[in-house]
Amino acid sequence: MRLAELAPTEYTFVGLLTACIRRGNPRFGTQVHALVAKDWYCGGSLLVANALLGMYVKCGRLEDAMRVFERMEQRDVSSWNAVLSGLVELGRHEEAFELFGDMRTDGVAADRFSLSALLTAAAEGCSLSQGAAVHALSLKSGLEVDLSVGNALIGFYAEHGDSVEDVVGVFQRMPVKDVISWTGLLNGYMEFGLVDKALCVFDRMPEKNFVTYNAVLTGFCQNKEGVRVTFAKKAGLRGLGLFRQMLDNGLEMSDVTVTGVLNACAIAADRKMSEQVHTFVIKCGCGSTPWIDAALIDMCIKCGRSGDAHLLFEHWCHQESFHIAWNSLLLASFRDGEYEKAFSIFLQMFRSSDIQFIDEFTLTTVLGVCSALGFAELGKQMHSFAAKSGLLRACGVGNSIISMYGKCGQLENAENFFEQMPHRDLVSWNALITAHLLHREGDVILNIWSQMQRLVIKPDSITFLLIISACSYTSSDSADTCMELFHCISSTYSIEPAMEHFAAFVYVLGCWGRFDEAEQFIRSMPFKPGALVWRSLLESCNKRSNMTLRRRAMNHLLALEPQDPSTYVLASNLYSESAKWHCSENTRLEMREKGIHKIPARSWTFHDNTVHSFFARDRSHPQSKDIYAGLDVLTIECMKAGYEPDTTFVLHDVEEYQKRHFLMYHSAKLAATYGLLMAGSGQIVRVVKNIRMCGDCHSFLEHASAATGKEISVRDSSGFHIFRGGICSCRE
């Protein structure tokens, strides 16, 4: 055309710029812009100027678009809309609303595209007031009935509405609806947790596309949170079923679809199914994207394929989702109970990445690791980091800090932090109650419960489980109070008591020696008592030495949990206490034949920001010679003060001198001795044990605290034991 010396018109330039947008070619677009600038006639054309704006915005060159916009002598609503949409796409929501203010000052009336863009900005920018103002403007201008504005309003209220009725109201007032409108309504129900209603909408939809299926798939995944594991698994399986339906209908798949099905498989936690889905993702040629690969790692971890997850991570090449992959590995180790490994992974993350990778999710996971290990020093450092980074404002982080201090034995810090929290939710109260429960402060917990009632804080099933458990640790018999509390769970709060609540109440009755009532209560349960109930009865019998009831409870346990190693250990110990050595040995032999292994007792303590771990008669520590020598000296000192090794806790048919030797080097004694050797003046020795501490270790540490003048804190599976001057805080 140029060779023929034909002069381009404004329509020529508009066509060229449209081609640049379609090809995503801003370089050619700038050349066209140069031609426009040379052309006196077309250079002043509003049509061409708007096409230039559209080209720069669509090609990601917003600053160039802004320069064109500022130099325009004439502007219409399309000019303003082009820049407005560019700002919204880049997440510059406040600037978008400022530009809209300038547009109205200029006397330009908003159209449906202006309002749709602003509603998207309000939805993404978390601005309820601005979104409501745009809605009011749409009503005044009569644009609420417009299809694109209505769809944008549905999307806004799905994110920020007070209730799902806000979404339904907009949908019902729309005279014309398309697949986007129906998908928005479906998504609104999902956002408010109304999955069944969302599925009803899905079934009624006159038309569906792959975006609709993605919305349902994503909804299944997001609504698995806050429910029991069985319901979460069901949601995951429903998501996988929906994905199969998509394939049968020949619908298009996007990265969102693939990510959604991987998340659904992770929720279902089915190893075999995860392998099938993983194979499908590879075979269908889904490209390696940051979010698909991150979802693959998460799925492998949650489906018990940690080895595959680590292999995927070794070949990681996506910087955008690097921190997500790290977080998945960190969470996997935490969930598997490999707390030291999780701690090691976090240190690797910290050394190899910028500190900015620590977000709310990472911080709560690391605080969880500190809680599990009882690692107070690292927990305090994370608290300081949260304060400096602004993450302390997040309620989830604050709740994790309360939990961390409580589980690290620093109850006063937990209480102080709780009092200083600007915003508390029910989890905050539950975390505080848990902290006191670990310290066996039942009376304090009942006072907290009274305070919650005065403040009209609605409890959940976890709250009741904690308060019922607290009745075991009150200063006087609180079984009757507990009974009233148990009955009000369903009558007052409409919460159906679960097996855990029944088991906790049985333990309370047993602790206070009310075994007849406990058995009667078990017989009156509305469903068959599970292993948890019989285990609670058995443990309460141990405190009151009711051998007959213990045997009865043990028989029920063996019938219900024939593969649980702890059940066999309890049975073997029960036989040993009755001097039925042959039966005890047969039980242990049966364990070996079935390949069942007991969890080995392990204790650990901290020195120089390092975890020092010990097993019984463990000599792997670099300073084991000093530890064993120190323990021998300490044992002699304790025996001078009245300590006598209690060989009844050695449940093996061996000679007395061998029993004393077995007792001498239990893991708790080794960890406490190392802590005493390393502790400075006035420093508390902190020990954590993975199972319940035996009675002999308890007696030894009482005498050790008196002999050394040191405070020794031990957290075992039952809670804290604070030894001071020969007395333990547990009063047992």
Give residue 43's pLDDT band: very low, low, confident or very high (50, 70, 90).
low
3-state secondary structure of 422: coil
Chain mean pLDDT for the chain: 84
Please report the pLDDT score of residue 626 as a whole number.
95
| pLDDT tens for each residue of 372-394 | 999 999 899 999 989 988 888 88
Please tell me the predicted confidence (pLDDT) of residue 355.
53
Lowest mean pLDDT among 192-206, 347-361, 688-702: 347-361
Percent of the chain with pLDDT over 90: 32
What confidence score (pLDDT) does residue 391 get?
A: 86
Whether residue 152 contacts residue 146, with contact meaning beta carbons closer than 8 Å, is answered with: no
Instruction: Give the separation between CA 332 and CA 303, rounded to whole angstroms.
Output: 10
d(CA 673, CA 694): 16
pLDDT tens-digit profile of 568-579?
777 776 766 666
- The dihedral through the CA atoms of 127, 130, 133, 139 has a sign that is negative
For 608, other C-beta atoms within 10 Å of its C-beta total 7
Task: Encode pLDDT of 445-457 as tens digits.
Answer: 999 999 999 999 9
Cα 589 from Cα 594, distance rounded (Å): 9
- Kindly indicate the confidence band of residue 6, based on its pLDDT and cuts at 50, 70 and 90: confident
Residue range 303-328: average pLDDT? Answer: 74
Task: Please name the residues in contact with 203: beta carbons below 8 A apart, sequence gap of 6 or more.
Answer: none
From first CA to last CA, the distance across the chain in angstroms is 98
Q: What is the C-alpha to C-alpha distance for residues 10 and 26, in angstroms, rounded to an integer?
A: 19
Torsion 142-146-149-151 (CA) sign: positive
Report the C-alpha gap between 66 and 53 in whole angstroms: 8
For residue 127, name the pLDDT band (cuts at 50, 70, 90): low
Cβ neighbour number for residue 347 with a 10 Å cutoff: 12
pLDDT at 224 > cutoff 70: no
Q: What is the mean pLDDT of residues 608-614?
A: 90
C-alpha angle with apex 470: 469 to 474, nearest 5 degrees? 135
Whether 369 shows a pLDDT value over 80: the answer reads: yes
Contacts of 204 (CB under 8 A, 6+ apart): none
Q: Tell me the average pLDDT across 344-366.
A: 74
**Least confident window among 399-403, 459-463, 554-558:** 554-558
